[in-house]
Amino acid sequence: MSGSLFIGLMSGTSLDGVDAVLASFDARGLPTQLARVSVPFPDDLKHEMLALNSVGNNELARSALAANALARVYAAAVDQLLNLAGIQASEVLAIGAHGQTVRHSPAQGYTIQLNSPALLAELTGISVVADFRSRDVAAGGQGAPLVPVFHAGVFAAGHPRVVLNLGGIANITILRPGAEPLGFDTGPANVLMDMWCHMRTGHPFDADGAWGASGVVHARLLRHFLDAEPWFSLPAPKSTGRDLFHWSWLESRLTSVCAELNLASQPRAEDIQATLRALTAHCATDAIRNYAPDAQDVLVCGGGARNAALMQDLQALLPCPVLATDHAGISSQDVEALAFAWLAWAHRQGVAASKPAVTGARGPRILGACWPA
């Protein structure tokens, strides 16, 4: 096999689990994907990592234990990948492991991803590159998004294009021929929808968007969601996470809309779900219209690409085609994990993976640190 083998492990804000890919990279950093797996988080780990997003008792010790548990799930994903591909651990140059974000506060100079790269290296016998965001934050940047340079490598076209990642949070990459990529977070993607869906139906997410599609968008509530949140009107570069879009964000807005509209009870649960979906679609398409009105297509990745109702909303709000990245050769479920394999490749190559135009940092930086095998 030609090229160098890397593994990417991505576990994002949604807390759904780990997406893992094994890929070989050529000298220019272009990937050929060899295998992929998704490993869901055990319920207790998911709940603990969710709890660690908020202030709580004995956080330091609990974080260390959760990080070790996460490393064990990561190691299981690596093991499955190697078995699927028939590859030995010794053939893989490095794993790029994102870790689990529990705080993201670049304005205060920190971002925290729970991770235990030392344990992951120990369990797998493979070098681990991790802690990708902190150097960019130290250089005055947002530490996010880190994927635009990778998106440019694999999705650049002969025309202006936007890549929209719909994970827990949504981020866009703007690609124009001959120009540096741009990118920033646009707001919630699935995080609020998942919260509401779980609260009202017991399901972790709204499969295919069917429940939300049975409801009707509540126009006043949507307006209130958009108007009452100053973050939406901040200029790029910007990033966000569960620090802002948490349960009380949603609860307080539902309460104030009911008071404002003099409603004795909340809108129907499915209407709220439809409205949260519309919020995701509006935030993303407003950003695209404002920053990339020349885009000739929008490629969507992340779990939100599987929400048919959300994809329809996006298409209804944009004049250009909205397609899953599968149409450009990479499964929408694998783009972000592949990006973290690329970030490990970039670290090993000494390639600066961050762009000041994206994160607002003082300059490009080599991201991550390596825990050798």
Ligand X SMILES: Nc1ncnc2c1ncn2[C@@H]1O[C@H](COP(=O)(O)OP(=O)(O)O)[C@@H](O)[C@H]1O
Single out the segment in contact with ligand X by CB under 6 A; choices: 125-133, 134-142, 289-297, 304-312. Answer: 304-312
Amino acid, single-letter form, for residue 46: K
> Taking a C-beta distance cutoff of 8 angstroms, is the pair 204, 194 a contact?
yes
Q: Is 326 in the site for ligand X (CB under 6 A)?
A: no
Smallest distance from Mg ion to CB 245, Å? 16
Window contacting ligand X (CB under 6 A); options: 245-253, 273-281, 302-310, 353-361: 302-310
Q: Which stretch binds ligand X (CB under 6 A): 69-77, 211-219, 269-277, 298-306?
A: 298-306
Least separation, in Å, of the C-beta of 104 and ligand X? 12
Instruction: Choose among Mg ion, ligand X, none what residue 48 binds, the Cβ cut-off being 5 to 8 Å by kind.
Output: none
User: What is the C-alpha separation between 212 and 309, in angstroms, rounded?
Assistant: 8
Q: Which of 100, 124, 190, 325 binds ligand X (CB under 6 A)?
A: 190
Residue from 304, 360, 364, 368 that binds ligand X (CB under 6 A)?
A: 304
CB of 12 to ligand X, least distance (A): 2
What's 103-139 look like in SS3? EEEHHHCEEEEECCHHHHHHHHCCCEEECCCHHHHHC
Q: What is the rounded CA–CA span in Å between residue 236 and residue 243?
A: 18
Burial 102-139 (b: 16+ CB within 10 A, else e): bbbebeeeebbbbbbbebbbebbebbbbbbbbbbbbbb
Residues numbered 192-231 forming contacts with ligand X, rule: CB under 6 A: 194, 205-209
Q: How far apart are CA 184 and CA 187, in angstroms?
A: 9
Q: Which of residues 49-108 bind ligand X (CB under 6 A)?
A: none
> Nearer to ligand X by C-beta: 145 or 304?
304
Looking at beta carbons only, is 16 or 334 nearer to Mg ion? 16
CA distance 362 to 364: 7
Site string for ligand X, 4-33 (x = CB under 6 A): --------xxx-x--x--------------
Least spacing, CB of residue 18 vs Mg ion, in Å: 7
Q: 149, 164, 152, 4: which is closest to 91 by C-alpha? A: 4
Q: Residue 16 Cβ, how far from Mg ion at the closest point, in Å? A: 4
Which among 15-23, 88-96, 212-220, 349-357 is the span making contact with Mg ion, rule CB under 5 A? 15-23
Rounded Cα gap, residues 110 and 101, in angstroms: 11
- Cα dihedral value 337, 284, 148, 79, nearest 10: 0
Residue with tokens 């974080």: 63
Which residue in this structure is represented by tokens 């930086």? 365
Q: Is 334 in the site for ligand X (CB under 6 A)?
A: no
Q: Please give the Cα distance from 171 to 239 (Å, whole number).
A: 8
* Residue 302 within binding range of ligand X, rule CB under 6 A: yes
Report how many residues bind ligand X under the rule CB under 6 A. 20
Q: Which range in 45-53, 240-248, 296-304, 344-352 contacts ligand X by CB under 6 A?
A: 296-304
> Which of 207/228 has CB closer to ligand X?
207
The least distance separating Mg ion from the CB of residue 151, rounded to whole angstroms, comes to: 17
Cis peptide before 237 (omega within 30 of 0): yes
Tokens of 253: 């807005």
Contact partner at residue 117 from ligand X, Mg ion, none, CB < 5 to 8 Å by partner kind = none
Q: Report the partner that residue 302 touches, choosing among Mg ion, ligand X, none (CB closer than 5 to 8 A by kind).
A: ligand X
- How deeply is 140 buried, as exposed, middle or buried, from its count of CB atoms within 10 A (0-12, 13-18, 19+)? middle
Q: Which of 118, 123, 132, 185 is nearest to 11 (CA)?
A: 132
Q: Note whether 187 binds ligand X by CB under 6 A.
A: no
In the list 9, 16, 120, 301, the residue contacting Mg ion (rule: CB under 5 A) is: 16
Element (H, E) at 82: helix 59-85
**167 is a site residue for ligand X (CB under 6 A):** yes
Using CB under 6 A as the criterion, which residues of the chain lie in contact with ligand X when the complex forms? Answer: 12-14, 16, 19, 167-168, 190, 194, 205-209, 302-304, 306-307, 336
